[in-house]
Structure 1
Amino acid sequence: MIMTGAFFGASVIAYPLVRLLGRNAFFLLALVPFAGLLWSLSAISDLFGPAAQPLVENFDWLPELGLSGVFRLDVLSWIMTLLVTGVGALVFVYCARYFPPDEPGLARFAGIFMAFAGMMYGLVVADELLMLYLFWEGTTVFSYLLIGHSQSRRRSRQAALQALIVTTAGGLAMLVGMILLITATGTGQISTLIDRAQSGMDTGGVIVSAVILILVGAVSKSALMPFHFWLPGAMAAPTPVSAYLHAAAMVKAGIYLVLRLAPGYHNIPGWSEVLLTLGLLTMFIGGWQALKQTDLKLLLAFGTVSQLGFLTTMAAFGTPDITKAALGLLIAHALFKSCLFLCVGIIDHRAGTRDLTKLSGGWRAFPVVAVCATIAAASMAGLPPLLGFAAKEAAYSTLLSSPDKTSVIAFIGIMIGSILTVAYSARFVWGAFSSKPGVDDIARRDEKLTLVVSPLILTALTLALGPGVGLLDGYFSAWTAGLPAVAEGDGHYHLALWHGFEPALAFTAVTVAAGLALFIVRRPFAKVQATLPSGLDFHELYRMLIGRMEALALWVTARTQRGSLPFYQGVVYFVLVAGLGLAIIANDTWNITFRLWDTPLDLIVAAVLVIVAIGATRAKKRFTAVVVTGISGYAMVAYFAFVGAPDLALTQVLVETITIVVFVLVLRRLPARIGESTGRLTPAWRAIIGGAVGITVMLVVLIATGVRVADPISTDFGQLAYELGHGRNIVNVTLVDIRAWDTMGEISVLVAAGTGIAGLIFVRGREGHLHRFERKKDGTEAAGRIRFQPVAEDVVDLHHAGRGEGLSQKRASWLIAGRTLAPRNRSIILEVTARLIFHAVIIFSVYLLFAGHNDPGGGFAGGLVAGLALVVRYLAGGKYELAEAAPFTPSGMLGTGLVTAILTVIGGWIWGETVFDSVYLEGDLPLLGHVSFGTSTFFDIGVYLIVVGLMLDILRSLGAEVDLHQERDEAMLTDRIHDNVNFSENLGATAEHRAVSEIIDRVNELDVDNGAEGGRL
């Protein structure tokens, strides 16, 4: 668990580290996976010693749901961690010189790359299905970001989206299978599931369906047919991504899952049939397509698809000997394919192309790369004395010795696929490094050691592990010893470079000879490939499916999203009345108890609510409707006060006031009068619908309260708030402690609402500040960003001056509106009052924030009061006054508030308790007396900051930005009138015309745009 956390911790610091050190930061970041490699190697004594046992770590994940987190390092996980960390460290070193120093988004790439490595590491050590799924989908999301690293390139964006859609679809099927499996067996721990399956405890249709659905996720992740097309498209990613994700890590996740489940489920119906069919078809299709490619990276991509089919076929058997061969292939493929991708990246950098028809003289241009790539390609083809040869011969030998009929079918399919592998391996070497007639040779340049060191290490391992494959055999045997044998003698095969003259060796020789012959006749064979039908194009099927889904979405949208608010309301009301009405009719127990009021004052509130509701429907003007609707909110304030809920009354009055302000800001851009409806519904029908909704909701409330058989949990809130929450304000303690999860969701919605307001209503970015005066060093305001030229007055100080003495001084005016608003739009009294009370109101809001734990108030109410203070400043002086009052960005406030709340949430977990657990301190302090403080106050501070940020976003969007657009519209209108209308008295201009002309002249004098030579009117 510590190692997994180290990856994610490094992903957080990767961004600032790369910004500080540039691409050299990748050398430091490589230390994280390298440390993981060392830790895995240090576990050898625990996993392979005399008392070998898996390393297991348990922790409570979601105890309320009975879910625990389990990390388990057994032999199979250990093998995968070696690939994830070892290859990962080498790829990070390669990144340090692959990317240019000015690569756009390099810091972002580093953080995402490290986070992906952490997800992959967590995936292979997770021993709980749902936890594995979280890491599984984490690799999907981060691979999407990595594939789409070049955001400006359409091909990268399309490839990333395609990979995301395909793998996520498979992941959703896998999630359904996992839930079915957990439900049927009562456990989600993978090791327990395998043990139960091996003992024959879990059988039946549900188990089979669940496992097949899980296999859908594995097949899509490992790019097996029919999902294989996403992997060649993902070659739009940078080469390090291809070398890691698509050779050693992500595409191996599906293979790992098959290897993990095979010991328990390889005998269930459909397992062998599905995996062997898809594996062999994928191996053949990948090899066939690889021989068509002229792009070296695409050639390797289709070769990877072919090899993944090979690996899946071998992993599906679940028997000791064949699984041992599969593990050898897994290691060999990771080494040679990562090396080949890294070499292609170097070739692309040096030659500027990956087209093998345009590459010539590569042997002389980059000899070190040529040697590395040739050895890796030879291992891919299965040539001795390399690891790929030992692994492929093991596959041949174990399949030939297996008595199962499916082994014969698998052997024939694998041999055909291997012939294609030899052919495209030779095609790769020839295309990348040979000299071709009529093609200019690549100019030779020095090969930097830091760029070629990673391919050199991978090549050295491929060379060393060929003769030393027996070393791997001992580790693999520790895993395969626990697998069920299907025949006598199964489990006795040992990996070795030389087994003598056996049938497997002869078939290997035939495979190599046939593959080289196929390469030699590549031109005639290419003509044969061109004449044959291309068959079923799954990529085209995917595009057609996406196109049909988009067309369906457009069709549904056109019929449901009409832009008609009455239609939307009608649908909501119909569903509400129909759904609840049927529930009411079906209810047999109508235990309705009428209680008309608690006090006679309730009747007054109810009468006001009825009157204003009718008045709102009858209002002809929008402003009237808003005011009348606001009265209903204030009536609820009175009701809360009557029933003894001061905190609710305070919050309601603040919310209602701010709501009216928001309405007024919006109404500035709408017609004053409410238009007449031209819809089909008459006023009578609207009244019927409204009445039906009201009656239905009333009946639901009466019935629901009458049939309650249990006491509401809220009856204990008073005691819980005082004893556990250490507060006397039940409402506030409920929000920040008892029901803090609900509040966390609500403030997240507030942040999303603020972002939506800023994004949808005029604001073009989240980072910009409002227009503010820029102060010069001498204290005066600089022009250039203001509407009017600042006015400075000459002040002669004659109080202590002698005769004839005078001193001229400049001072800036205190009220900004004097330079930003026309006189007809100003109220000096309001401006002065707003400035005088602003700081007092802010202090009062802070008081409400900290007093809310025991008295009316809290973070929400305090934030609303601070928001009202900002509203007053804006209404008094406009957007420049608002900028002076709040010299910070709304996004900063929202982000700071949300981070503060989240840190408070996880604080309890950090110090060993559950999330949202609070710590309370109390004691006597000088001057302050007895003080009680809880960490939940920090959560309330986060709420306060979020509410203030939301209010600032509203004022910036609906206020300041609307002002800006309105000024532009007025300027355009006045220019158009001035250009097109002649107001000469000779033409009989009316008084109205003369008034418009006077307005135009005054606007021209204001000099709105440049703020020069204008000044006050």
Structure 2
Amino acid sequence: MLVLLLLHLVAALLAPVLVRWWGRQAFLALALVPAAAFAWTLAQLSAVLDGREVSETVEWIPALDLQIALRLDALALLFAAVVTGVGALVLLYCARYFAPDEEGTGRFAGTLTAFAGSMLGLVVADDLLLLYVFWELTTVFSFLLIGGAGGRLAARRAATQALVLTTAGGLAMLVGLIMVGQASGSFLLSEVVADPGSGTVMTAGTVLVLMGAITKSAMVPFHFWLPAAMEAPTPVSAYLHAAAMVKAGIYLVARLAPGLADVPGWRPLVLGLGVATMLVGGYRALRQTDLKLLLAFGTVSQLGFLMTLVGGGSRELAAAGVTMTLAHALFKSTLFLTVGVVDHATGTRDLRRLSGLGRRLPVLAAVGCLAAASMAGLPPLLGFVGKEAAFTALWDGGLPDRTAATVVLVGLVVGSALTAAYTARFVWGAFARKPDCADTEVAHAPEPLFLAAPVVLATAGLLAGPFSPLLAPLVAEYAETVPFGLPEVEDLALWHGWKPALALSLLTVLAGGALFAVRARVSRTQRRLAVGASADEGYWNVIQGLDRLSVLVTGTTQRGSLPAYLGTILVVVLALPGTVLLTRAPWPGEWRAWDTPVQAMVGVVVVTAAALSLRIRQRLSAVLVVGVTGYGTAVLFALQGAPDLALTQFLVETLTLVVFVLVLRKLPKDIGERHRPRERAVRGVIAVAVGAFMGAVGAVALGARTATPVSADYPEEAYDFGGGKNIVNVTLVDIRAWDTLGEISLLVVAATGVASLVFLRSRTGGVDRAERTRLTEVDRPSWLAAGATMDPARRSVVLEVITRILFHTILVFSVYLLFSGHNDPGGGFAGGLVAGLALVLRYLAGGRYELGEAAPVAPGVLLGAGLLFAGGTGVGGLVLGAEVLQTAILETTLPVLGDVKLVTSLFFDMGVYLIVVGLVLDVLRSLGAELDRQEDEDDPIELNEGEMVVR
């Protein structure tokens, strides 16, 4: 199972490349991944039915009892088959749905494949926290898929709405999962269901978990996000909103119902919202004129039906629920794909403008009618089998409370009648001839491959009805895990004789047909009964209210004054930790100001520079003086025997000065004097107090230590387990690799933030290169690739020569630091900073075009590759059976080279190196090259007629 999940990950990463090579045909290759998962799932059927455990467990963080636990039982197998089978067919459908030259297809393909993998992980996860991880991944990927048409406001609004609601439910669910795990004593799903525990904590946790399922599966009152999400492309609707994402809540309830259905509050919440959702969705579907919206509200109705069945907590309802889940996935995916073909062929989904398509597209009409018949519950389709099983279960008292069973049965019968009515509306609207509407012209006849997916799904729904006894063992395997109900579940079958359930099925069809027959009167009645407000409007009113509140709070507390913000933080530090320091801290008995006179001299220089920076009125001079404090700190590190820290501090300070200089180009030369003496005095008191406080904290922290520090074992463990002698580097890439992974992720965010300040619309692409501009004829020789693009008055031949000589040497030195850092001073961070300084030198010597020649690659590529290297190191260790980010030491003897030692943390360090280089390049590109370009456009230099140069 883990291999299948990794296959989806690899396919998702490769999807943009494959689409770039093969165009939309790449979807055919991508479909092989979920198809392979589908085949593997079916191959496990005999093992699951025989009761053999199909599971995989990989220890993740044993100290926290975290593990990647995957398990395939009857319920997981059924949902996994739906996820992978429908997913493969939807990807196949995409190969003809998208135009050959449509933009964003590669991104869409990768996201859809990643979603399929996340959904598969969700249904096979046997750990509560792992399930939550996959749960949130499906939320994120669905947001990207719904809002993929980023140029349309409606798509972005729908994606944001779905993200806010499902994430809010997911947060509640996370708290609930933790409470359930604590109350039951285990975070394994299988153990929680087997022995759930009891008490207030379990009850509260269960309700919170249900909140996640309710929002995910679009239950009332959170149902409105699903119809709004129909702004997504049709393949997304057919997969996410019919067979996958919205089924996540159904799956979670079905998974927990065998153990938690008797928890107080479970049945009233699940049954009440389920029936209400079925009725609301069916009622709203009757008024839709867009075929896709009609199916969307129909999906809301059917999700309420499914939630009621799987959450009822009885064997009979559980069997009916999983059967209807499979039937719904087949017929609703088919119908959405059918609407996509109609839209492609005619250019519209408005049923008022469609007429006569049944004759013009007979194959499509047959497919749509088969799926619609299953949705309406007509024999011999699987939908009929599932609905009759549901009616039978409730008629026979499928709930502990007979009255509740009767009420639920009445609600489901009414909802099923609404289902039959909107099903007839769909078939009539899509394929029938209308007297008042001319026959619709078919602009693009669908290709056989375009029809393949809906034909296969519709055929599966047709065959699954007569052959439903073949599904009975799998359905019973899950149903028997539910404690309440009859000893044996009635087998699935197309014909059970003349029973009340058959009469109820016939009643729903006749009632639905009657509602359709008087559709005009029903429509007028709905318009008269329409209320002024809706759940969707209520949501946007809440969001707008929060926006207004945030503006009010922000306007009151944040005035845009950075000194005020900093002063507030420092005063709080003095008031709270400072009070504790003065009253309870164990002060050292002996104070030592310095170890050597050299330290004292360096300290005096640092303090003097800090004091001078307060008096200097020129910005550049002040920045340079502040830089002295940083270099002085580096000297102190070196004096204390920490060359690695000293090297890094020196490099960081140098690059910081460069960034300051780039920013200062756009600021006034002098610092204005805008503060009264009293304000300066207050700030001075705060500054001195904070300085004294931090010095005291350092002294107290060192004197208060009683236990042996953990760092005492670092030298030995760094070499034995990390394979390196440089404690600092081994700590970063092995001992505290998780911290480093978080820190480099923040560097990526910082690079994005800097770029977003300058690039208002898009930050893709690299720096402009010299061949993109006209070079001027100059007499001086060009030592750099883009040297001739510089303003002759600002060129420095000496700097160009020095750059030409040193650039490659600096790069080689940076690589040396990268590879030697495991045993000697250096490492990926220091090496990346040195490589960044080489890019700075090229930019200073030759301008923005020279920077483009030095680094002809987009910064985002470097940042992404760095994260991939660093994260891939952790995944690699996991695959090899080790801990995440654990270092593996490989030693071998090679010809010529002799003994070779390789540590896998080197690849993590390479990721750090790439991210640092990408950060520096992004800063130079944003604050250097882009600002230069803007200046060039505002004020170009004209030498001779038709000749332009760049500053």
| TM band (smaller chain) | over 0.9
Q: CA deviation at 1:886?
A: 4.3
Specify the alignment match of 2:665 in structure 1. Answer: 668
Alignment match of 1:901 (pick from 856, 861, 870): 870
Aligned-pair CA distance for 1:628: 2.0
2:199 corresponds in structure 1 to: 204
Q: Which amino acid aligns with 1:831?
A: E
Please name the residue that 2:153 is paired with: 154
The Cα shift of 1:891 comes to 3.8
Gap change, CA 1:694 and 1:517, over 3 Å in 2? same
Amino acid at match of 1:825: R
Residue 548 of structure 2 corresponds to: 551
Supply the AA of the counterpart residue of 1:514.
A
2:35 aligned partner = 34
- TM-superposed CA distance for 1:391, in Å, is 1.9
- For 2:574, give the aligned amino acid: V
Contact 2:319-2:489 at 8 Å conserved across structures: no
Cα pair distance change 1:601/1:926, threshold 3 Å = farther
**Relative contact order, higher structure (CA 8 A, sep 6+):** 2
1:278 aligns with 2:273: yes
Please tell me whether residue 507 in structure 1 is matched to residue 504 in structure 2.
Answer: yes
Cα distance in 1, alignment partners of residues 938 and 352 from structure 2: 60
Residue 219 (1) aligns with residue 188 (2): no
What is residue 321 of structure 1 aligned with on the other side? 316
Question: 1:575-607: CA deviations, max 9, x gaps?
Answer: 222231233255264455422222233322232
- Post-superposition CA distance 1:461-490 (Å, at most 9, x none): 33323333333223212222232134xx45
- SS state of the match for residue 940, structure 1? helix
Supply the distance in 1 between the matched residues of 2:326 and 2:300 (Cα, whole angstroms).
16
Q: Partner of 2:71: helix, strand, or coil?
A: strand
TM-score for the superposition, normalised by structure 1: 0.87
Question: In structure 2, what is the equivalent of residue 292 of structure 1?
Answer: 287
8 Å Cα contact 1:919/1:934 also seen in 2? yes
**Aligned partners of 2:27 and 2:92 also within 8 Å:** yes
Kept in 1: contact 2:146–2:155 (CA 8 A) = yes
**Structure 2: which amino acid aligns with 1:362?**
L
> Which residue pairs with 1:978 in the alignment?
none
| 1:362-401 equivalence runs, <5 A | 362-401=357-396
Instruction: Give the equivalent residue in structure 2 for 1:10.
Output: 11
Question: Are residues 1010 and 855 of structure 1, via their aligned partners in 2, closer, same or farther at CA, if it must alter by over 3 Å?
Answer: farther
**Does the 8 Å contact 1:762/1:962 carry over to 2?**
no
Kindly indicate whether the alpha-carbon contact (under 8 Å) linking 2:786 and 2:853 is maintained by their aligned counterparts in 1. Answer: no
Measured against aligned partners, the alpha-carbon deviations of 1:310-365 in whole angstroms (never above 9, x if no partner) come to 11112222111122222222222222222222222222222222212222122212
- 1:643 maps onto 2:657 in alignment: no
Distance across 1 between alignment mates of 2:166 and 2:20: 32
State the alpha-carbon separation in 2 of the partners of residues 587 and 255 from structure 1: 55
Distance 1:251 1:856, change over 3 A: closer
Q: 1:96 is matched with which residue?
A: 95
What is the deviation of 1:892?
4.0
Task: For residue 220 of structure 2, give the secondary structure of its aligned residue in structure 1.
Answer: coil
Q: Does the 8 Å contact 2:818/2:831 carry over to 1?
A: yes
| Residues 532, 727 of structure 1: alpha-carbon distance in 2 compared, 3 angstrom cutoff | closer
Q: CA deviation at 1:193?
A: 0.7
SS of 2:59's equivalent in the other structure is: strand
The equivalent of 1:47 in structure 2 is 48
1:346 corresponds to 2:341: yes
In 2, Cα distance between equivalents of 1:326 and 1:920: 52
Contact kept in structure 2, 1:784 and 1:1011, CA below 8 Å: no
Deviations 1:248-291 (A, max 9, x none): 22211111111111111111111111111111111111111111
Task: Give the equivalent residue in structure 2 for 1:415.
Answer: 413
Q: Return the alpha-carbon distance in structure 2 between the equivalents of residues 577 and 939 of structure 1.
A: 39
Quick one: which amino acid aligns to residue 372 of structure 1? V
Bigger drift between 112-121 and 697-706 goes to 697-706
Q: Name the amino acid aligned to 1:329.
A: M
- What is the identity, as a one-letter code, of the residue corresponding to 2:97? Y
Residue deviations 1:397-446 (CA, integer Å, cap 9, x gap): 21111162210110111111122112112222222222212210124686
CA distance in 2, matches of 1:57, 1:136: 19
Counterpart of 2:704?
707
Selected match of 1:309 from 304, 308, 317: 304
1:806-817 map, 5 Å: 813-814=782-783
The equivalences for 1:558-707 within 5 A come to: 558-585=555-582, 587=584, 589-591=586-588, 593-678=590-675, 682-707=679-704
Identify which range, 527-536 or 211-220, moves more after superposition.
527-536
Q: Is the 8 A contact 1:772 1:785 kept in 2?
A: no
User: Contact between 2:61 and 2:883, CA under 8 Å: does it hold in 1?
Assistant: no
Segment drifting more, 843-852 vs 179-188: 843-852
TM-score, normalised to structure 2, is 0.93
TM-superposed deviation, 1:923: 8.0
SS of equivalent residue, structure 2 residue 706: coil
Structure 1 residue identity aligned to 2:690: V
Return the offset for 1:921.
5.6
CA distance 1:155–1:691, shift in 2 (3 Å)? same
Q: What is the distance in 2 between the residues matched to 1:785 and 1:340?
A: 57
Q: 2:789, 2:950 within 8 Å by CA — same for their partners in 1?
A: no
1:178, distance to aligned residue in structure 2 (A): 0.4
Instruction: Write out per-residue CA displacement over residues 137-174 of structure 1, whole angstroms, 9 at most, x where no aligned residue.
Output: 11111122222232222222221221111111111111
1:756-786 per-position Cα deviation (integer Å, ceiling 9, x unaligned): 3333236975554445444xxxxxxxx9434
Paired position in structure 1 for 2:234 = 239
SS in 1 for 2:825: coil
Which residue is 1:194 aligned to? 193
Task: State the one-letter code of the partner of 2:774.
Answer: R
Which residue of structure 2 lines up, in the alignment, with residue 64 of structure 1?
63
Cα distance per residue 1:506-530 (max 9 Å; x no partner): 2333222222222212212221111
Whether contact under 8 Å (1:485, 1:491) holds in the other structure is no
Take 2:10 and 2:402, find their aligned partners in 1: how far apart are those partners?
A: 49
Change (3 A) 1:95 1:680: farther
2:224 is matched with which residue: 219, 223, 229? 229
Partners in 2 of 1:376 and 1:396 — Cα distance? 21
Name the residue aligned to 1:454: 453
In the alignment, is the contact (CA less than 8 A) between 1:658 and 1:868 conserved in 2?
A: yes
Structure-2 residue corresponding to 1:431: 429
Deviation sequence 1:507-554 (CA, Å, 0-9, x none): 333222222222212212221111114275111111111111122222
CA distance in 2, matches of 1:1015, 1:722: 53
1:593–1:702 CA contact under 8 A, matched in 2: no
Indicate yes or no: 2:102 matched with 1:166.
Answer: no
Alignment partners' CA distance in 1, 2:309 and 2:891: 66
Match for residue 875 of structure 1 among 831, 837, 844:
844
Secondary structure in 1 aligned to 2:576? helix
The farther-off stretch of 110-119 and 958-967 is 958-967
Conserved 8 A contact 2:334-2:457: yes
Match in the other structure for 1:485: 484
Find the aligned partners of 1:652 and 1:764 in 2 and give their Cα distance: 34
In the other structure, the counterpart of 1:789 is: 777
Deviation, structure 1 residue 824 = 4.7
Q: For residues 937-956 of structure 1, what are the alpha-carbon distances to aligned partners after superposition, in whole Å with 9 as ceiling and x for unaligned?
A: 44334433433333333333
The 1:882–1:764 alpha-carbon spacing in structure 2 relative to 1, beyond 3 Å, is: farther
Aligned to 1:733: 730
- Residues 545 and 901 (structure 1), Cα distance of their counterparts in 2 relative to 1, 3 Å cut: same
- What one-letter code is carried by the residue in structure 2 that aligns with 1:431? G
Is this contact kept in 2: 1:791–1:813, CA < 8 A?
Answer: no
Q: How far apart, in 1, do the equivalents of 2:728 and 2:455 lie? A: 66
Work out the CA distance in 2 between the residues paired with 1:918 and 1:660: 36
Q: Which has the larger radius of gyration?
A: 1
Give unmatched runs, 5+ long, in structure 2. none
Q: How many angstroms does 1:214 deviate by?
A: 0.5
Partner of 1:139: 138
Structure 2 CA distance for partners of 1:769 and 1:230, relative to 1, 3 Å? closer
Offset of residue 304 of structure 1: 1.1
The whole-number CA distance in structure 2 between the counterparts of 1:873 and 1:533 is: 68
CA contact (8 A) 1:374 1:429 kept: yes
CA contact (8 A) 2:12 2:109 kept: yes
Query: Cα deviation per residue 1:723-754 (whole Å; 9 max; x = unaligned)?
Result: 44444433333333333333333333333333
Q: What is the DSSP-based 3-state SS (H/G/I as helix, E as strand, rest coil) of the residue aligned with 1:71?
A: strand
Match of 1:799 in 2: none
